[in-house]
Structure 1
Amino acid sequence: MILNTDGGARGNPGPGAAGVVLRNDTGDVVKQVGLYLGVCTNNEAEYKALALGLQTALGIGVKTLVCRLDSELVVNQVIGRYKIKQAHLKLLNDAIKKLAAQFEAVSFEYVPRAQNNLADKIVNEVLDAA
């Protein structure tokens, strides 16, 4: 399965939302979720979107997952390439690692925003409705 997630905050910090899209191996959308997060930063929203996506995938029994995000920072922090300086992001990163450990196989990839447009659209729809 392929998971695309996006998070965003208007104001940074400001009202934030998460967007999640799960696709099967042929690219068909299996599930999509949007969630209002309240006031947060962009980075917090990106982490929370990834957590929501992992929880959603686990909830429908996914065992193998490729996670695609347009946040280079979050991807590189999750895979250990970048250090995490803020304590609140370290807590979110730890939560991601606990969720990821529940899969048989999971990977994290950075993708350009253009390849993450449905998740981004969900974020904007949630924020527009808030």
Structure 2
Amino acid sequence: MWKIYVDGAVNQRGSGIGLVLVSPEGITIEKSLRLAFLATNNEAEYEAVLVGMDMVQKMGGRSIHMFSDSQLVAGQVMETIEAKDFRMQEYLTKVKCLQSKFDSFVLTHVSRSGNTHADSLATLATSSTKGLPRLILVEDLLRPASTAASVIRIH
């Protein structure tokens, strides 16, 4: 079963989504996407859900356990909250259509503190109005630069 953590972010610089996919073998895939269109926070959350589902489907996955800190989106998808807004109904219809292609699909609401990794990736996508490099290395500086030999560890 694939585990997917999703989040959407909207601020004055734009909208973005973050995804952390964990394969059944334990391989982690991180994705940060800037939305090139106007979106509300709930729309960004749904976009993250749809992109995550699409990615797993393209990789041949058949079972998903997804986690989102959006109580509204999780509730609508799992049918504990009614989608009253027209746009939310459209997104929900798309999710249900994709959901039918999986053997198992669960979307669980988690607290924001339980979704910080996906949140960071969503925020990264909105951190600048200019394009970001396609590859961003995150490194640990193991010793202060003032020491004779600093060591950098690349993840």
TM-score, scaled to structure 2: 0.77
- Which amino acid letter does the alignment assign opposite residue 10 of structure 1? N
Number of equivalent positions: 127
Residue 27 of structure 1 and its aligned partner are, at CA, apart by 5.0
Paired residue type of 1:52: V
* CA displacement at 1:51 relative to structure 2: 0.4
1:57 maps onto 2:56 in alignment? yes
Which letter does structure 1 place at the counterpart of 2:33?
L
**Structure 1 match to 2:120:** 121
Secondary structure of the residue that 1:39 maps to in structure 2? coil
Q: Flag structure 2 segments of 5+ consecutive residues without an equivalent.
A: 130-155
TM-score of the superposed pair, with normalisation by structure 1: 0.90
SS at match of 2:101: coil
Task: Assess if the C-alpha contact under 8 Å between 1:9 and 1:39 holds in 2.
Answer: no
Partner of 1:36: 34
Counterpart contact for 1:6–1:70, Cα < 8 Å: yes
Higher helix share: 1
Query: Is residue 2:11 matched to residue 1:15?
Result: no
CA RMSD of aligned residues (A): 1.5
Partner of 1:2: 3
C-alpha distance 49-102 of structure 1, shift in aligned 2 (>3 A):
same
Q: Which runs of 5+ in 1 are unaligned?
A: none
Distance in 2 (alpha carbons) for counterparts of 1:49 and 1:28: 19
| CA deviations over 1:79-127 (Å, ceiling 9, x no partner) | 1111111101100010011111111111110011111111111111111
Structure possessing the higher radius of gyration over alpha carbons: 2
Q: Detail structure 1 runs of 4+ shifted over 4 Å in the superposition.
A: 25-28
